[in-house]
Amino acid sequence: MRKDEYDKALQLCDNVIKESTKAEVLAEAWVHRGDVFLGQRQWPDAILAYLHVPVFYEGEKRWMPPALLGSARAFRSLEDLEEARRSLNDLTAGYPKSAQAEIARTELQKLPK
């Protein structure tokens, strides 16, 4: 993804999702899949990918903060500020010491009231 090779990154994520049975690996793959769609500005697909983590892999706490931050950014891009705010608040409340929580606090301040 760092080289904007979105198709290759998406294929890698899809392969991992098809082949793995480990929850941590699957949660990570869904986060990265969301990152690909976010990078491509495919907001609804990004949201669906990110939301796999809280819905299906809630126990994978390491991947919850990036999933919540990514979904908030996609919601904001769709101008769904209520959902963006909800995701950012869930992130700061549930994972206050994560690196993403600090980013979320900044992004919350920038959201229109």
How many CB atoms neighbour CB 8 within 10 A?
A: 12
Can you read off the two tokens belonging to residue 47?
């949201």
Q: Report the alpha-carbon distance of residue 3 to residue 43 in Å, rounded.
A: 20
Q: Give the domains, in start order, of the chain with CATH numbers.
A: 6-110 (1.25.40.10)
Q: Report the alpha-carbon distance of residue 6 to residue 57 in Å, rounded.
A: 24
DSSP state of 41: T
Q: Do residues 52 and 23 touch, judged by C-beta distance below 8 A?
A: no
Q: What is the pLDDT along the chain (113 residues), one digit of tens a residue?
A: 666 789 999 999 999 999 999 999 999 999 999 999 999 999 999 999 999 999 999 999 999 999 999 999 999 999 999 999 999 999 999 999 999 999 999 999 999 87
